[in-house]
Copies of this chain bind each other. A is one copy, B any other.
Amino acid sequence: MIERIPILKLGPFLLLSIQVDMHDQLALDLQEDLTEQIVRHKAKGVLIDISALEIVDSFIGRMLSHIAQVSRILDAKVIVVGMQPAVAITLVELGLSLEGIATALNMEKGMRRLEAMVAADESLEESEGGEDTDASTPPGD
């Protein structure tokens, strides 16, 4: 079995595809690796593909929320792509709303959405005339 979920860098974004059953250590390692890489590469966004997952339980839901929160603090956008219809239905039935997590149908749409989110942020920063202080960061939620 794999020990780490690979994180691929693509321009200003990081890409990861979750294909295996997550367990505690794998999830912890993923969060650690991702935070480290966001900082190292100054990543502006993270794209998480979950098209291989047939089940998203509350453990994975919490992990995604956690990743989204940490990324937001590091000023990187997060988008989850490729969710299967059955997964969406189950999430709603379970009352897991993936709050604060942006989603897109597939990777291409997700990439475009990420680019738009980053561009909107940058134009906002410019119009406010200062990027050295993040007090001007708009509330992402």
Inter-subunit contact B6/A82 (CB<8 Å): yes
Residues of B contacting A1 in the complex (Cβ-Cβ under 8 angstroms):
20-21
Cα A28 to Cα B16 in complex, Å, equals: 24
A6 engages B108 (CB within 8 Å): no
Q: How far apart sit A108 and B8, CA to CA, in the bound complex (Å)? A: 8
Instruction: Given A17-B19, A20-B19, A20-B20, check contact A111 B10 (CB 8 Å).
Output: yes
Which residues of A50-95 have CB atoms within 8 Å of chain B's CB atoms? 51-54, 82
A55 to B7, CA, bound (A): 18
Nearest chain B CB to A109 CB, angstrom units: 10
The A interface is mostly helix, strand or loop, or mixed, namely loop
Nearest neighbor of A2 in chain B, beta-carbon distance? B52
- How far is it, in angstroms, between the C-alpha of A24 and the C-alpha of B2 when the chains are bound? 18
- A27 part of interface (Cβ distance < 8 Å): no
Q: Whole-angstrom distance from the CB of A123 to the nearest CB of chain B?
A: 24
Flag whether A107 is at the interface (Cβ < 8 A): yes
Cα–Cα distance between A53 and B20 once the two chains are bound (Å): 13
Residues facing B in A1-42 (CB within 8 A) are 1-6, 8-11, 15, 17, 19-21
Q: Please name all residues of chain B whose beta carbon is closer than 8 Å to the beta carbon of A2 when the two chains form the complex.
A: 19-20, 52-54
Interface status of A106 (Cβ within 8 A of chain B): yes
Residues on the B chain within 8 Å of A108, using CB: 9-11
